[in-house]
Every structure is written in structure tokens, then in C-alpha cells.
Structure 1
């Protein structure tokens, strides 16, 4: 049985009429829109096999270039288990590089759709922004920003990146967070590799200065010293090149770090600098600038990046040539001919909390000023007790030591026993939780004050004192009432009402 569509049925009818002599070959070519040679072939096959001439010879046969089914199953299994977070283009690259499997893009797309596993791009409605052409030469403008994300492992880290607006050349490094030190390090890397560029295009984050920092920051100061102009973007779309770079990095770099088992920052930076950027980014995503001449300028010989790409702070020098930094005092030991009191000293922060001090471009030798620690009142009392015991031992007469020091003989003997039992620490005042001061109000009166205050929360301390004296014959001053309230955290009417609500209903 042969299934034919309308076009095939027309071809069969026309060729049958030609074979019967009811239709000429010239008219058949017009009806079927075929050449005379094709009609003659159809006629020859019709006379030989009948209506089966209309069936193509390759029908039912597998194409010569058909991809094997086992390869399809292998690729789909790899997508499910290993490459589940890659887009199609990245997936094709990884299959060819790691698995040595080369599959055409459309074939790979069909296989991924069959298992409903296609990573789709985010679609957002956005405002229409005017297109801006790239800069004409490399080094005219670089865009810089930071992207906090879970790049590797379970903890968030920040990728600080800068991209050349003309060529899309990328400079990037991972840091624990977006800090001034990280931005300065990336800036230094750019200058060491390429040279000093013209402008830096950034957002209005406080790290880069702007209104949030009263137009001052360490990055802004470093750029001014290098002759780099900072331009602040009014919107994220303004520096869209670095924003789109982060989209690509999050889409491709994160899966590659996962596939390579990278979970620490050192390994991630190594992979980023030696594998991802040179082998993928610079080979596939960079472009040539319109002008061949680069605007990167070599660093002048008299400029030292160690003096610029560092966090600088300033402190005022006191009359005795000391200054404070980090809640500590430091003394300037360098020999100075004239006094520099009331001048500003420059502090350059180093790693691990260390720093160097500079004045007029000269590094100073400094030492920390160690101030004596004042003894507490309790330590002073213990020392007095030890002095009395030492006096008694020196005189060999406790009575004479008692007369000279004014301390009773019983106290001296008790202090001796305490030292024998527990050492000097035994002389400290030991108070048990139930210990009550001698001048403290009696416990029964305290309970009465608390109970009466909760029954009459609107009364003040003077009224409570007066009514307790009149109704219960209890002598307690208004100050005594207030001390009890403070200990029980009920010194306001609102606190007394709140405590009353917490008491059982029967009370």
C-alpha cells in the first residue's frame, strides 16, 4: 500500500495518461512543472514498476550522515548529570574540549529540547537607551565595577573587573568583598600590563568617591595622582559593557569553576587569570579598535605605584612628636632638625594591619608608646592587705603591726589563713549570689514595696513612701523605693504595668 499526497497523486495520473497516449510529454511538463528529462524518467519507471515509480529510492533508509542514537543518549546523559548549568554555545565548546564530541548547534539544540533542558536567557522589559559607539582607540576609557555573587563554593565573593571600552579587553580578580584595596589592586594590574589610560567610567558607589564621599575617596585620589579622569555613570546602562561582561562571566565562569572542582579564592583567581581570560575571553570576545594607535601611556619613571596604589590617611602630629592611629599612640624616633608639631603625617596602610608613616615624602621611624596600666581599686586594696602582712612578718609581732597599720589582729590572722588556703586571689572579695549588703533594705520590706507598687502602678516613689509609712508603719525613703524599682526593672509606670500582666491571675 502506497500513501500519496495530492501532489504525488497528480504526478501518477499525468504519467499514466502519457503512457496511454492520451497526453503529450510537452503538456505533462507544463502540468507537473518538471523538465522533459524528468518526465521521460518517470515514464520509463512507470512502465517498469507501475505506480511505485513515485516513491523515492531513499524512502525508509537511514541518512548516510545520521548521528548514532548511542551518541545522542550519551550527550543527553552528560547534560543531565554534568553540564546542567551551561548554555548551548558553552555546552558545545565543553563537549568538544572535554569529551571530544563535536555536534552541530542545531542538532544539540534539538537533543537538549527533547529532555526539556535548555538554559534560557532572562528577558526583562527595559527602557530604550541611546546606542553609544565604542571608543575609537584602546586606553581611552575603561569601565570598572564589582559583582558580589556565589562564584565558587557556598560563600559569596566579589569579582572586581575592568573592561576596555574599545577592545573589550578584560582585567579581573576575585576578592572577599568590593573594597578600596581590591579596586586599587586591579587598577595597578592594568597599569603594569598596559600602562596609564585616559578615563575610568564607574558608578556612584562610595569606593569611587562622588557625592557619597564628598567627592573624595582613595580611588579618586590615586586616579588624580596618575592623571586618570573619573566619570560617574547616571545609570547602570551607561556602563553597559562591564554589566554585560558580568552576565557572560556568571553564565560561563561559574560552571567551569564547578567542573574543575574549584572552591577557594586562590585557585579561582589562578584559573581566571591563566585559563579563562587568555583562552576564552581574549580569543573570542575581544575586538579590534578603529584606530591602531593605543592611548595607553607608559608609567613615568619618577612615579612609583607603591606610593600611589595604597590607602593613605593623615594624622596631626602633637607637640611631643606623637600621633594616634588605630586607638594607639606612636612616637616619631627619626632625627628631625626642626619641630614638625601640628603638621600632618601620612599613614600608608599595609597588609595585616601594618602601616608606614611618611612626612614630606620621607619614611619615618616610629615606635608604639606603651602607657602604664592603672590598677583597679580592688587591686589597690589587695596590695594594702599584702603590705600589712609583710609588716607583721618583718616585725614578728602581729600586735605591733596592728597598732601601726590600724588593721585589727583578727583581720591580719584571717588574711594569713586565706593566703595559705587559696593564695593571693583568696584575698579578693567573695560574694555569694544570696549575699546582701549591710545597708540594703530588709527583704520583707522589699517584698512589701514591690507588691504595693504593682497594686498601685500609677503612684510615684514619694507617694509610695508616704502611704507605706501611713498604712503599714514602714519607714522607707523615696530614694529607697526607687533603688528597689531599679533592681526589679520597674522604675516607670509602663514597666510596672507590664510586670503586673506577667503575674499569675490569682496574684
Structure 2
């Protein structure tokens, strides 16, 4: 019978053979093998009586004393198949531990899932092409912001965009919100909540999209987002590449895996429901992934003004000229400034119009609020026609959907008319019967054939 030995056991055989041939003493063999002299005597005794097979471990081919019962393994795999089939081993272990009392390690579950065909082992990551930048030292020094367009609800609702703000020093998600599209108003809304809850950071790091900066360096007028940052005393910084703001990019990679599955298990099927549920998830996410800063100081500056003042800063600001009658035109509406106000603007003055997220409008001139009344004039102009590059796809998708609905209604009408003709009904309010022959042509009566037409 062929004896299979491990490398360790083969090394012991070579040394013990020298002991039996009296080329080495037992003390020298014990020193080479790292064993006691007493153990060397036992191994020499086995080698004399049983031969080379005596050096093979007695535990070979026996199950471990700590082996997990097969029934436990099958029950865990059944839970994974039912609830966590597309989960990774680490994420599945977290849910199993929280929901089902699983007490074993991620590597144990990983091995089970690989053997059961529920997980494919991934190759090792390639070396980083872009070296990682060191984190900032303090919380609130730098906040990275971005938006991610994704099928967050896995087809249960329309695709949308998640806008997120993440602190560079700790990796803590300071704020996030689902929006229909990546827009200026969406970013301003998250900014308002972050400043109200945490304070104003020293700097915000974004990409170079038109929401955040203008490509014409000679244009002195800031964008809406830049104007809000300047009023809050926050320094805007733009990145030259996505890799430069890799922390927020990696955040979205994590959320597109974990957040999507969490909303599926929680039964979240829409943006409004998701936004109400999101703060609790972010608290658990920060407890799991956020790290402590190198320095304990918090560089956020608390907001000392009123919430209305903050909402006004984080709204959209426009300028319109007032007519001689005190009327401003804005997005198809006529805004009539009420007479009798001591600080009413003169004709031709540029009035500032503040457009809040909920649709409210506020008029002011030289810092004084103006009472006004609004009349809808051209409803098709409401909301404006200007759309930036990040929102163009959503606008076109809405147009395509409207056209498809129109074509579907038209197809249904044609199908209904064809069914009526097959039933012998040729007028909208007539009964079944042969088509009437009359000079007038109306309703659903088909055209007469060439044979019946008069010359």
C-alpha cells in the first residue's frame, strides 16, 4: 500500500531515520524538529513497529472535532437561497447574524456558498494605477459630493438619481437624497439639510459639471450652487478626474450593492418612501464603515441664522425687470407687485425672485421683501425650458413616454373602430346593420368602392 505523507511528515521521516541509524541523537533530532525528546521517542517507536505509516497523523481523513453539523449548514444555505441569493458572503453574514442568529465567520459562509454554487470567487484586484490620497485630518474640512444614476428600485419604480455628500476625513455620509434627476435644486436641497444638521464645511469637492462651475472663466456670474456656497462661506473646489474624488465614487459602488438589497428586503418601492427610510439606513452605514479622524476637532461651522434664511440661500435666485405697472414676468406667470409699499421698485428696476423647492416665490428689491400677487399666463412655460446635460435624458424620457401614451390611445381608438365595423356599426351612435347610403359622409361609414361610385 502506498503511503501518502505531508511535507512535514516527510521531513520527520528523514530526521528520525538518522536517529535510528545512530547518526543523530534524540536530543539533536528534537532540536531540529522543534519537539520534545519524549515525543521523539514515541515517533521512533512507531517507526520501528509500523514503518513509515506510523508517522502519518491519526487525524488524517477524519472530520474535525469542531466541524459544524450538516443540518446547520443546510439550514443556513436554505436561508441564503430564499432571501440572500445575490448577496456577497460578507453582506449575507451580516443579515444572517442580525435576522437569524448566525454566529460563524464570513469565510465559513463563503466556503459553503462556493461549494453550493451560490458565489463565484473573485480574482485578486490589480495594483492601483492612481495612488490613494491621504484623508484629511479633521471632520468638516472637505466634503465630496456627486450623484449616481442607477436602477435603485430594481424595476419597482422609475430610475432615479441618488445625491450624496461624504466627509473626506471619516468617510461618514453627511446627507443623501433620491431625486428624479441630478439637478441644481437637488444638490441645494441636500446642502441645506447638511448645513442645518452638521454646519457648513470648509470646502466642497465636486466634478466640473455646469451645476458647479462655468467653463467660461471670464464670466463673473456664479452658478446657483456657487452662489449658495459663497453665501455660506464654503470654498468650492472642482476635480480634474473622477479618480480625484474616489471616496464618493467608491461610496456609490457600495450603495449600489448594499442599499439596493436593503430596500428590496424592506419593501421600499418609491422615492418618497425611500427618502423617509434613508436616514436610518445611513446611520447604520456610518456605524459600519466610517472611521475616526486623525484629529478630534470638528471644522464644521454651525449655522446661527434661521431656517428660513438658510432655505432662502439654498433656493434658486433669479432677476427680472419690473415694468412701469410693477409687473414681472417669470416662467409664464405675471407677478404683480402690490401698490402702496414704501420700498416698491421704480420702473425698469431689477427685482430679485427667489424660487423655493416647494414652488413658492419671494420677491425682493434692495433687500426688502415685496408683497405681490401671481397670475398664471403661459402654463407651458412653467419650470423653464433650459435643461443641463445631467437632466436632458430625464426630460427626453418624459417626452418619449408622453408620445408613447398618445400612440397607445390612437392605436386603441383605431382597434375599437375596426371592431365596430366588423360588428356592422358604421356610425358612433348607430346600431348594427348595413351602412347607410347617403350624400353626407360622417361617422365611421367607410368609403364606397369604385364600382358603386357614380361616374
TM-score, normalised to structure 2, is 0.71
Residues 311 and 356, structure 2, Cα contact 8 Å, conserved in 1 = no
Cα deviation code 1:439-462 (max 9, x no counterpart): xxxxxxxxxxxxxxxxxxxxxxxx
Alignment of 1:92-171 (within 5 A): 92-118=93-119, 128-154=129-155, 155-170=158-173, 171=175
Q: Which whole-Å CA distance do the structure 2 matches of 1:85 and 1:300 have between them? A: 47
Q: Once the 2 structures are TM-superposed, how far is the Cα of residue 163 of structure 1 from its aligned partner?
A: 0.8
1:326 alignment partner in structure 2: 331
Alignment of 1:334-483 (within 5 A): 334-337=339-342, 340-351=346-357, 353-368=359-374
C-alpha spacing 1:44/1:239, structure 2 compared with 1 (3 Å): closer
The alignment status of 1:175 with 2:179, answered yes or no, reads yes
C-alpha spacing 1:122/1:362, structure 2 compared with 1 (3 Å): farther
2:393 alignment partner in structure 1: none
The alignment status of 1:221 with 2:227, answered yes or no, reads yes
1:284 alignment partner in structure 2: 288
Report the secondary structure of 1:160's partner residue: strand
The alignment status of 1:186 with 2:190, answered yes or no, reads yes
Q: Which whole-Å CA distance do the structure 1 matches of 2:169 and 2:11 have between them? A: 62
Q: Once the 2 structures are TM-superposed, how far is the Cα of residue 251 of structure 1 from its aligned partner?
A: 1.8
Q: Once the 2 structures are TM-superposed, how far is the Cα of residue 363 of structure 1 from its aligned partner?
A: 2.6
Residues 149 and 156, structure 1, Cα contact 8 Å, conserved in 2 = yes
Q: Which whole-Å CA distance do the structure 2 matches of 1:218 and 1:209 have between them? A: 9
Q: Which whole-Å CA distance do the structure 2 matches of 1:340 and 1:96 have between them? A: 70
1:238 alignment partner in structure 2: 244
Of 270, 274, 282, the residue aligned with 1:268 is: 274
Report the secondary structure of 1:211's partner residue: coil
**Which shows bigger deviation, 324-333 or 308-317?**
324-333
Q: Which whole-Å CA distance do the structure 1 matches of 2:6 and 2:64 have between them? A: 26
Q: Once the 2 structures are TM-superposed, how far is the Cα of residue 349 of structure 1 from its aligned partner?
A: 1.8
Q: Which has the higher contact order (CA 8 A, sep 6+)?
A: 2
Of 315, 318, 330, the residue aligned with 1:313 is: 318
Cα deviation code 1:147-188 (max 9, x no counterpart): 011112412111100111112121211122212221111101
C-alpha spacing 1:320/1:119, structure 2 compared with 1 (3 Å): farther
Q: Which whole-Å CA distance do the structure 2 matches of 1:359 and 1:13 have between them? A: 97
1:298 alignment partner in structure 2: 302
Q: Which whole-Å CA distance do the structure 2 matches of 1:323 and 1:145 have between them? A: 35
Larger Rg computed on CA atoms: 1
Q: Once the 2 structures are TM-superposed, how far is the Cα of residue 342 of structure 1 from its aligned partner?
A: 0.6
Residues 143 and 241, structure 1, Cα contact 8 Å, conserved in 2 = yes
Q: Which whole-Å CA distance do the structure 1 matches of 2:323 and 2:92 have between them? A: 65
**Which shows bigger deviation, 297-306 or 313-322?**
297-306
**Which shows bigger deviation, 291-300 or 334-343?**
334-343
**Which shows bigger deviation, 46-55 or 245-254?**
46-55
Residues 206 and 212, structure 1, Cα contact 8 Å, conserved in 2 = no
Q: Once the 2 structures are TM-superposed, how far is the Cα of residue 289 of structure 1 from its aligned partner?
A: 2.0
Cα deviation code 1:207-226 (max 9, x no counterpart): 22321795632111111111
Cα deviation code 1:282-324 (max 9, x no counterpart): x232222222222111224478202211112121000111121
CA RMSD of aligned residues (A): 3.6
Q: Once the 2 structures are TM-superposed, how far is the Cα of residue 352 of structure 1 from its aligned partner?
A: 5.4
Of 196, 204, 208, the residue aligned with 1:200 is: 204
The alignment status of 1:86 with 2:90, answered yes or no, reads no
Cα deviation code 1:86-143 (max 9, x no counterpart): 2222122111111211222322222122133336669998983354222222211111
C-alpha spacing 1:330/1:127, structure 2 compared with 1 (3 Å): same
Residues 347 and 356, structure 1, Cα contact 8 Å, conserved in 2 = yes
TM-score, normalised to structure 1, is 0.64
